[in-house]
Amino acid sequence: MNQKAYTFSDVLIEPKYSEVLSRKTVDISTNLCGINLKLPIISANMSNITGPNMVIEMCLCGGMGILHRFNTIENAVTEFEYVHNHMVFWPDYAGAPKTDAPLVGVSIGVQEQDKQRFDKLYEAGANIFDIDVAHGHHILVKNMLNWITARKLPDIVIIAGNIATRHAAIDLAQWGANVVKCGIGSGKTCLTRSNTGVGVPQLYMLETIKETINQYNLPIKIISDGGINMVGDIAKALKFADAVMLGNMLSGTTETPGSVYKNPEGQFYKTYGGSTSGENKGENKFVEGMMKTVPFRGKVKYILKEIREGLQSAFSYCDASNLKEFQENCEFIHISEGAMRESKI
């Protein structure tokens, strides 16, 4: 326990001499094993964050959405086909994986019935799959990855997680994952750390996993999932991650699934909660998530615009014209509690 783990609010990005003339020229695009994103943001595959409307809007804004798995196989296929049929006619969408198919991520679990879910979605045209469980460094994830990779299907991208250690990254890469989703217990509505004591601070975790990928030349990319409270946190995550998954920051927007309600004070709101909450699990057994209400926030494109401009500014402060230069130039300084208050983080 010699190493003190840290997270986003513990650090600031130190500014550097910059020759970037305008943030508007900064390229914040990224590549996830053939998935090209002009905006390195992915909407979380949660039932109250990403449905078909969110996926479409994310792509229009340069990012990507991953459809959740908390529905029947038939509904999952229907939602995928709805998005696919809308996007396939676009003259220019944000980017594309190797097959030039529209960017639509889909989710599966690790149970036997999820093999049927995979087959049905693949037959419908899906080629970006997220093996989505709370603890990704697990034999059931290994078995699912082995089952998928043994079939040698062409041009699919497999995202797997969630994980939080360097050992997990090594194993998932060996098992066949292309992208690892990193973060356990850091989500806004996640109770894993308080209810189990398990977790790793998000920014320290990203650093150790990135170091491991570089050390062993692992052919995987990183999605940072959780712990984001403001745009500056996204910039800090991108020091090590290739993209950032957002749930809380996108909650309450027009495109999220669910109705808009009005409280007794006349304020409009929507509901948002973790995938392991009792409401989403459909049972009141031991849960590691909670539901909450969030103010109705309008169209998600305005939030994504703020993120885009904030990242371009962060890159320019580090004399970086693109993500690769930002990751090379970005340096953190650890700050005190007084500096946290001064920085409003």
- Model confidence pLDDT, tens digit, residues 234-274: 999 999 999 999 999 999 999 999 999 999 999 999 998 76
Indicate whether 101 pLDDT > 80: no
Q: How far apart are CA 42 and CA 312, in angstroms?
A: 17
Question: How do residues 212-238 score in pLDDT, each as one tens digit?
Answer: 999 999 999 999 999 999 999 999 999
pLDDT, residue 86, reads 81
| pLDDT mean over 153-165 | 96
User: Please, what is the angle between helix 166-175 and helix 202-216, to 10°?
Assistant: 50
Q: How many CB atoms lie within 10 A of CB 72?
A: 9
Q: How far apart are CA 329 and CA 319, in angstroms?
A: 7
Indicate whether 188 pLDDT > 80: no
Instruction: Give the helix/strand (H/E) hosting 106.
Output: strand 105-108
Q: Match 């808009």 to its residue by tokens.
A: 260
- pTM score: 0.92
Beta bridge partners of 222: 180
Amino acid found at 113: Q
8 A C-beta contact, residue 160 and residue 45: no
User: Which residue stretches of the chain are H helix?
Assistant: 52-60, 73-87, 112-124, 139-149, 166-175, 192-196, 202-216, 231-237, 278-281, 300-317, 323-329, 337-343
76-80, 85-89, 284-288: the lowest-pLDDT one: 284-288
pLDDT, residue 186, reads 82
Q: How far apart are CA 105 and CA 59, in angstroms?
A: 11
When pLDDT is cut at 50, 70 and 90, the band that residue 278 belongs to is: very low
The answer to whether 190 is a known catalytic residue is: yes
| pLDDT mean over 191-203 | 90
pLDDT, residue 159, reads 98
Task: Give the 3-state secondary structure of residue 244.
Answer: strand
Q: Match 């920014």 to its residue by tokens.
A: 203
Q: How far apart are CA 106 and CA 109, in angstroms?
A: 11
Indicate whether 95 pLDDT > 70: no
Indicate whether 281 pLDDT > 70: no
User: What tokens were used for 189?
Assistant: 């509505």
pLDDT, residue 98, reads 39
Indicate whether 326 pLDDT > 50: yes
Catalytic residue among 59, 61, 182, 190: 190
> What whole-number percentage of the chain has pLDDT above 70?
90
8 A C-beta contact, residue 132 and residue 45: yes
164-178, 184-198, 329-343: the lowest-pLDDT one: 184-198
> Hey, CA dihedral for 192, 196, 197, 200, is it positive or negative?
negative
| pLDDT mean over 132-159 | 97
Indicate whether 40 pLDDT > 90: yes
**CATH of segment(s) 8-343:** 3.20.20.70
When pLDDT is cut at 50, 70 and 90, the band that residue 97 belongs to is: very low
When pLDDT is cut at 50, 70 and 90, the band that residue 2 belongs to is: low
| pLDDT mean over 29-56 | 96
